[in-house]
């Protein structure tokens, strides 16, 4: 295996929220980065500051088609990850997870690259085990409106482990829990971006259900650190590994935190809970602590500040362009 500086690293979905932060960190470590994105949810603005860098390359490509490049590492992050985006074209979402995995695994096999799959806590569905450990098989509706994402990611994990067993491919699988921070899409329908954008606009904050459902929120820099540690973890360790913040908050608690930080007179309004929306989500990160020496450092209050500042600048910039 090559030394850990100067690697050629492919990041699919690299112009997305997570991918752009990952590309940034990889370049800072001295690697050459090929960022691949079809810009369905990713944007060039997320990587604009990297475009002139001699070790960064941006390629428009859809991972449902094969890709022929020479690389040492592959981070497979390509897939819309928020319900509003992955439910817009559910067939394409499944194809991105499944065909995308097949194509990236085929590439890894051809060039003998180590490959990491960005899986998701959604493989656990609406869990009967709390907090969720990697050994839990999940409670997932295979025919619901979220199934294109949940089952697509579960199938991708199946493919990764079958390539590992059948072809001795060097794989790593991360199960990513709710992550937030700058460069989130303002209209992605996720709870942090929804609340922050609504509060900044002076709109009432929409809570689905009674707000008692829980989530765990991991700041993006912490999450990227976990992904990079997993990629360079010991030979033979495949995961899956939960990556997320084990601090558990109700949706109502999050809404109240955002209101307190943004200020204004917005109120909480309640809407019916969407179909198959999980009632609890909290990672057990024992494996990540033991294998990667990783745990999140940023508290929710600390991470919300730069996130709110990012959205404030984004909204102010949009208003300035309209005047």
Rg value, the chain, Cα: 19
- The whole-angstrom distance between residue 262's C-alpha and the CA centroid of its chain comes to 25
Which residue, 105, 125, 119, 114, is CA-closest to 18? 119
Q: What tens digit of pLDDT does each residue of 150-180 get?
A: 999 999 999 999 999 999 999 999 999 999 9
- Judged against a pLDDT cut of 70, whether residue 321 lies above it is answered with no
Q: How far apart are CA 284 and CA 293, in angstroms?
A: 14
Asked if 35 and 58 count as a contact pair (C-beta separation under 8 A), the reply is yes
CB atoms within 10 A of CB 42: 26
The encoded tokens of residue 116 equal: 């990491």
Strands 248-250 and 214-216 come out as: antiparallel
Q: What tens digit of pLDDT does each residue of 286-311 get?
A: 999 999 999 999 999 999 999 999 99
Task: Let me know the angle formed at the C-alpha of 88 by 83 and 93, rounded to the nearest 5 degrees.
Answer: 75
Domains in the chain: boundaries: 8-179+219-245+280-298
- Judged against a pLDDT cut of 80, whether residue 275 lies above it is answered with no
- What is the chain's mean pLDDT, rounded? 92
DSSP per-residue codes, 226-264 = HHHHHHTSPTT----EEES---EEEHHHHHHHHHHHH-S
Task: Let me know the angle formed at the C-alpha of 188 by 194 and 85, rounded to the nearest 5 degrees.
Answer: 145
What value does the mean pLDDT take over residues 129-154? 92
The encoded tokens of residue 214 equal: 């829980």
CATH for 8-179+219-245+280-298 is 3.40.50.720
Q: What are phi and psi of 291, to 5 degrees?
A: -90, -35
Active-site annotation, residues = 149
């Amino acid at each position: 295996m090559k030394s850990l500086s100067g690697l050629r690293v492919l990041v699919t979905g690299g112009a997305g929220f997570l991918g752009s932060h990952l590309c940034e960190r990889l370049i800072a470590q001295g690697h050459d980065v090929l960022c691949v994105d079809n810009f369905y949810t990713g944007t060039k603005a997320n990587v604009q500051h990297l475009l002139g860098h001699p070790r960064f390359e941006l390629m428009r490509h859809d991972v449902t088609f094969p890709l022929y490049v020479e690389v040492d590492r592959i981070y497979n992050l390509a897939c819309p990850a928020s319900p509003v985006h992955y439910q817009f074209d559910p067939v394409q979402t499944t194809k991105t997870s499944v065909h995308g995995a097949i194509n990236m695994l085929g590439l890894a096999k051809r060039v003998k690259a180590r490959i990491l799959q960005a899986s998701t806590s959604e493989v656990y569905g609406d869990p009967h085990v709390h907090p969720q450990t990697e050994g839990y098989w999940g409670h997932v509706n295979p025919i619901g409106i979220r199934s294109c994402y949940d089952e697509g990611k579960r199938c991708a994990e199946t493919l990764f482990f079958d390539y590992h067993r059948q072809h001795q491919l060097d794989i790593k699988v991360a199960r990513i829990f709710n992550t937030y921070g700058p460069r989130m899409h303002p209209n992605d329908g996720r709870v942090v971006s929804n609340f922050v954008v609504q509060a900044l606009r002076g709109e009432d904050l929409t809570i689905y259900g009674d707000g008692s459902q829980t989530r765990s929120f991991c700041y993006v820099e912490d999450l990227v650190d976990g992904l990079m540690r997993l990629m360079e973890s010991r030979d033979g360790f495949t995961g899956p590994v939960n990556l997320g913040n084990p601090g558990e908050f109700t949706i109502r608690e999050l809404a109240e935190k955002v209101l307190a930080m943004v200020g204004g007179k917005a109120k909480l309004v309640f809407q019916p809970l969407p179909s198959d929306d999980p009632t609890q989500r909290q990672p057990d990160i024992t494996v990540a602590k033991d294998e990667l020496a990783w745990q999140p450092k940023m508290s929710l209050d600390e991470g919300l500040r730069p996130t709110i500042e990012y959205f404030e600048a984004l909204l102010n910039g949009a208003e300035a362009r309209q005047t």
